[in-house]
A and B are shown apart, each in its own frame.
Chain A
């Protein structure tokens, strides 16, 4: 009988595929390491402090309300690191921590945890910080400072305002486009490799594309939303540029400035908050691309990636419903209720 008692009786299939959810999540975190390294290269120790603050806020909040297995699946860590990467280097750590805590707490746990949330938690955290600390989140440190110097008042005491150091704000490429008519815009190569002002992770697009390519090749990332976003932004801004080249920037500066690459590769591909169907992914990506150009060109803000993605997140359930796959052998297309 001992033979019989150690046998397991489970439902078929009795084999499991090559990847599990923690593997997916931690691979995403691993693919962000080069982006983080680039951020440290350009912004010094401040980059590590901000990302660590945001990650601690996200992970500790998850740990406070969820079982240890939920923390170990790595999803909170992704939120924290991504949030950190879309903040400026001079941000006080405690603000980053609050952003991470809000993103996980209000953006994910309130909805029921992993898989239940409507909005991307990292972006929701950033939106919260933008509303709460509009000054700190638009204070871009100058490039060319000594590597080891802090790029702002990172270590400000919690719930105190950071000391504003004169002359620390620099223009970002998008700010130049928006407010200075594009005069003094850095070259596309500088944008691609990160020698511009901006948030920690958004300046070095090359590293982001590298990380995304790695995830796509391993089959861990949906490549459709970023491709749809890039194509839409390129085509839309290309048309505008063709209409009036002096007024509207061309496709390349549009593509490689601001948070577009980070948002397209790492935020719009969040499986939970983006459509599950291939057709839906294209619609989602095109929608984001159109909104980004609309906000950047005609909106009041220089950057629109965050709001564009959050806006399309809200449409995801409807897109899913409208793009159900056609069942094999079904008579009509889109057969769903």
Chain B
């Protein structure tokens, strides 16, 4: 086991994937209403193009992309736009959203579409088609997929790394995609390799998913340089920089993207979605969500229309148990806790983990004893203990000079901290503070220049 490819440092939380790893995905019944926020991806929010009272069919566009680093939003159900209003967002804020009342009599069958043969398309046309379908990274960060398929000028993709690690505990979304849709994953990879001109691809899968490794290996194409690389089970193996380190043995330079070392990382479910786009023409309007944890009565891997409300999703899984304490969108290491059952599932919602009393983290915080466990956990070799002490004194600039920007908020340091110090929370807050301070400084400087000129 120890000879498996991996990265340095990291942690190994209990996996708990057994709750759902063997459950075949099934489609959840259509809810009575869906809510589609315009902000479901990294980048600029989409612009709404429908109005109250409009009839929309499944797959129709409701908001268009605003620029290149943006993605459109499509109706995930057939129904009527009941309103366009600010709605609670799973990231804790709120965002403009299109509410659609689901038509109770519709068969929910999408319109007939003509699908172009991808083999006849130029790379730029493929990129456009992927953007038009609203495809974003399904691993959680929801970065628009087409942006990565069009690498900046002067860079070359040597290797596509298909990310099948799913290193977050509990989640089995990517796992089920690989087992049930291995052909689609490979087909999507084929399209991406053609689009980027990448000569080689590696599919990295953690060793705790032997059936996924087996399923993908069975359909590996003979005509392409593609291999499956089993990886040691360790968090955060699925982070881009960690995957590059494990597979290629390269360090992505600080502050740079994997493309700077010739690597392009895409999630396996995103690959399957690209394949689906070129099979059916349907945009990204539904995704697989793992609903799990000891706080949910019937854990499941569900195909969920984007925009389904948390309340309806929980009901489709038998509801919460009496000792449910915390609902997390995403995995328990980086996911966002929800305080409102009306938040919608978005394109980036990998799972909904309902933690019971027995599973939630401790609350009492002890002083830092400088045990150094956080240094041994940090996959980017920061000193979280020192950064934490700076954070407690609001010394944001000192944090920045100690490489706060390299922190990806994976939470490994908070997880191992015996004193239960909320390190990654403090680092996230510090990053926000620095961003705001810089924006304010820039505005002030611009103001001063304008005053001098006039």
Residues of A bordering B, CB below 8 Å: 3-4, 6-17, 19-24, 69, 73, 75, 113-116, 222, 271-272, 276-278, 320, 324-331, 335-337
Bound: A276/B374 CA distance, A:
10
Q: Is the CB of B406 within 8 A of A115?
A: no
User: Which listed segment binds A: B51-59, B141-149, B249-257, B264-272?
Assistant: B249-257
Q: Is the CB of B420 within 8 A of A20?
A: yes
Bound: A16/B420 CA distance, A:
8
Known: A327-B381, A336-B402. A11 touches B419 (CB 8 A): no
Q: Mark B375-405, 1 if CB is under 8 A from A, else 0.
A: 1001111110110000000000010011100
Q: Is the CB of A20 within 8 A of B339?
A: no
Chain A residues lying within 8 Å of B450, measured Cβ to Cβ, are none
Chain A residues lying within 8 Å of B359, measured Cβ to Cβ, are 14-15
Chain A minimum-CB-distance residue to B254: A329
Q: Is the CB of A115 within 8 A of B370?
A: yes
Q: Is the CB of B425 within 8 A of A11?
A: yes
Chain B residues lying within 8 Å of A24, measured Cβ to Cβ, are 369, 371, 418
Chain B stretch 139-178: residues in CB contact (< 8 A) with chain A: 169
Closest 5 CB pairs of A and B: A11-B425, A13-B411, A115-B367, A16-B361, A21-B366
B338 in complex: contacting residue of A7, A336, A337, CB < 8 Å:
A7
Chain A residues lying within 8 Å of B382, measured Cβ to Cβ, are 325, 327
Main secondary structure of the interface of B (DSSP, over half): loop
A9 in complex: contacting residue of B320, B338, B379, CB < 8 Å:
B338
Known: A24-B418, A330-B254. A10 touches B372 (CB 8 A): no
Q: Is the CB of B418 within 8 A of A23?
A: yes
Bound: A15/B254 CA distance, A:
28
A-B pairs with beta carbons under 8 Å apart, 22 shown: A6-B324, A7-B324, A8-B326, A8-B337, A10-B337, A11-B337, A12-B336, A12-B411, A12-B424, A13-B415, A13-B424, A15-B13, A15-B333, A15-B361, A15-B415, A17-B11, A17-B415, A272-B370, A277-B375, A328-B380, A329-B254, A331-B253
Q: Shortest beta-carbon distance, B19 to chain A, in Å?
A: 14
Known: A271-B369, A271-B372. A14 touches B254 (CB 8 A): no
Tell whether B414 is near chain A: CB-to-CB under 8 Å. Answer: yes
Q: Shortest beta-carbon distance, A34 to chain B, in Å?
A: 23
Chain A minimum-CB-distance residue to B341: A4
Bound: A199/B128 CA distance, A:
79
Q: Shortest beta-carbon distance, A315 to chain B, in Å?
A: 15
Bound: A327/B255 CA distance, A:
11
